[in-house]
């Protein structure tokens, strides 16, 4: 089987959308190969926001598993040529974590 | 009838039960990587004759799931492989572990986990209870469980420990189980349904999809994965 050339890998447009108290990114739109896992989007967000703990979800009330391929998410939840990925920081949720043990939240 | 703008992120016991059965059905047909969930009824007052007082409570149960991660066997740990002898027939880059070649080292016991989804009357949300054990039945302690589950893999920083897992008496089985504390659930459920930019859903849709959406988040913490096609299968 011939190796795939870069131009034959379909890229997906991802639009990162801040919700709740989350900071808005300067660069909120980018393209990512469809064959990449959603984990890459999450890692990108973490690096951009300098936060380990995020709550990430798509418009259909679903928090995607990091192992899902971006192209599968786009095919199921994409709209208008892009995949909208909403993110919220743990601030909304940490209020009760601080009242429990004061240890930081696990990533969803 | 409450509209979705006022929704507080919680569900009634009745909606939980309806949602749980629908969730179990979808899981069975669309998530064949796992065994199905079963609904375990827990009649509160079985001795009462009147059907109105006979509220069928219950919970969803998924048991005997092996949570041990596969290890590669070092066939000969002591000898050094001569790089020249290495097999170079596989030219593809292998990002994923090929499960067919992994064998459990006999130094590692297999660990199993039971998962129950139970309704909390206090918080009005579902709660995930879990109990893990070895193949000989010995219960696992929390730090042993944490080692197996993906949210606590070595990639994560040490701070991302499970802050909200507590050991409590299972509300029906009256034995100690671990549970993922529900007090933040209503907040992230509100986000899931109302935080997107596609307009407000109808409340009936929210209640119908509640368990599925809830589990997409909570399941990740314990390594139970919902394939995205399950979410997209809407009547």
**Chain segment B177-196, per-residue pLDDT in tens:** 999 888 788 988 998 898 88
Kindly indicate whether the ipTM for this predicted assembly is greater than 0.90, answering yes or no: no
CA atoms of B151 and B162, how far apart (whole Å): 8
Residue A22 pLDDT class (50, 70, 90 cuts): confident
Q: Do A63 and B216 touch (CB under 8 A)?
A: yes
Residue B102 pLDDT class (50, 70, 90 cuts): low
The counts of H helices and E strands in chain B are 5, 6
Which residue in B152, B187, B227 is closest to A92 by CB distance?
Answer: B187
Q: Determine the 3-state secondary structure of B58 from DSSP.
A: strand
pLDDT of residue B100: 53
CA atoms of A66 and A43, how far apart (whole Å): 10
Contacts of A67 in chain B (CB under 8 A): 225
pLDDT of residue B157: 41
CA max distance for chain A: 57
Does residue B76 have a pLDDT over 80? Answer: no
Query: Smallest Cα–Cα separation from B34: which of B63, B68, B70, B69?
Result: B63
Q: Kindly report the CA angle at B218 between B214 and B221, in degrees rounded to 5?
A: 165
CA atoms of A103 and A94, how far apart (whole Å): 9
Q: What kind and span of H or E run contains B207? A: helix B203-221
Does residue A14 have a pLDDT over 90? Answer: yes
Q: Is B225 within 8 Å of chain A by CB?
A: yes
Average pLDDT over residues B192-213: 87
The tally of CA atoms less than 13 A away on the side-chain side of residue B44 is: 9
Q: Which residues pair with B112 in a beta bridge?
A: B66, B133
Average pLDDT over residues B136-148: 85
Q: Convert the pLDDT of each residue in A65-81 to its tens digit.
A: 888 999 999 999 999 99
Average pLDDT over residues B137-160: 66
Contacts of B197 in chain A (CB under 8 A): 17, 59, 84, 86
Kindly identify which residue of chain B lies nearest to residue A86, measuring between CA atoms. Answer: B196
Entry pTM? 0.78
Q: Do B225 and A100 touch (CB under 8 A)?
A: no
Domain residue ranges of chain A, discontinuous segments joined by + = 11-106
Which residue in A20, A84, A96 is closest to B197 by CB distance?
Answer: A84
pLDDT of residue A31: 94
Kindly identify which residue of chain B lies nearest to residue A3, measuring between CA atoms. Answer: B92
CATH no., domain A11-106: 3.10.20.90
Of residues A92 and B69, which shows the higher confidence score? B69
Q: Do A52 and B156 touch (CB under 8 A)?
A: yes
Average pLDDT over residues B28-32: 90
Packing angle, helices B203-221 and B185-194, rounded to 10:
120
Residue B144 pLDDT class (50, 70, 90 cuts): confident
- Whether B183 sits among the annotated catalytic residues: the reply is yes
Q: Do B197 and A86 touch (CB under 8 A)?
A: yes
């Amino acid at each position: 089987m011939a190796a795939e050339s870069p131009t034959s890998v379909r890229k997906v447009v991802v639009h990162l959308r801040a919700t709740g108290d989350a900071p808005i990114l300067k660069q909120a739109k980018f393209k990512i190969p469809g064959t990449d896992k959603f984990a890459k989007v999450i890692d990108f967000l973490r690096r951009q926001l300098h936060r380990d703990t995020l709550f990430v979800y798509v418009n259909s009330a679903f928090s995607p598993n990091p192992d899902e391929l971006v192209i599968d998410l786009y095919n199921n939840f994409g709209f208008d040529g892009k995949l909208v990925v909403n993110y919220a920081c743990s601030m909304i949720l940490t209020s009760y974590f601080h009242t429990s043990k004061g240890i930081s939240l696990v990533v969803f | 009838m409450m509209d979705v703008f006022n929704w507080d992120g919680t569900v009634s016991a009745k909606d939980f039960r309806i949602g749980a059965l629908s969730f179990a059905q979808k899981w069975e047909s669309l998530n064949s990587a796992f065994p199905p969930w079963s609904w375990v009824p827990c009649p509160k007052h079985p001795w009462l004759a009147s059907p109105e007082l006979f509220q069928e409570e219950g919970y969803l149960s998924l048991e005997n799931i092996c949570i041990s991660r596969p290890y590669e066997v070092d066939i000969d740990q002591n000898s050094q492989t001569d790089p020249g002898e290495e097999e170079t027939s596989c030219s593809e880059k292998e990002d994923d572990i090929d499960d067919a070649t992994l064998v459990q080292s006999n130094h590692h016991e297999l660990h199993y986990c039971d998962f129950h989804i139970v309704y909390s009357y206090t918080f009005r949300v579902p709660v995930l209870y879990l109990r893990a054990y070895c193949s000989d039945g010995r219960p696992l302690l929390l730090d042993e469980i944490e080692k197996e589950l993906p949210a606590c893999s070595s990639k994560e920083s040490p701070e991302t420990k499970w802050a909200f897992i507590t050991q409590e008496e299972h509300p029906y089985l009256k034995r100690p189980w671990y549970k993922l504390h529900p007090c933040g659930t209503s907040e992230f459920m509100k986000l899931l349904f109302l935080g997107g930019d596609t307009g407000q859903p109808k409340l009936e849709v929210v209640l119908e999809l509640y368990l599925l959406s809830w589990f997409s988040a909570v399941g990740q913490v314990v390594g139970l994965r919902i394939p995205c096609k399950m979410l997209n299968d809407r009547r």
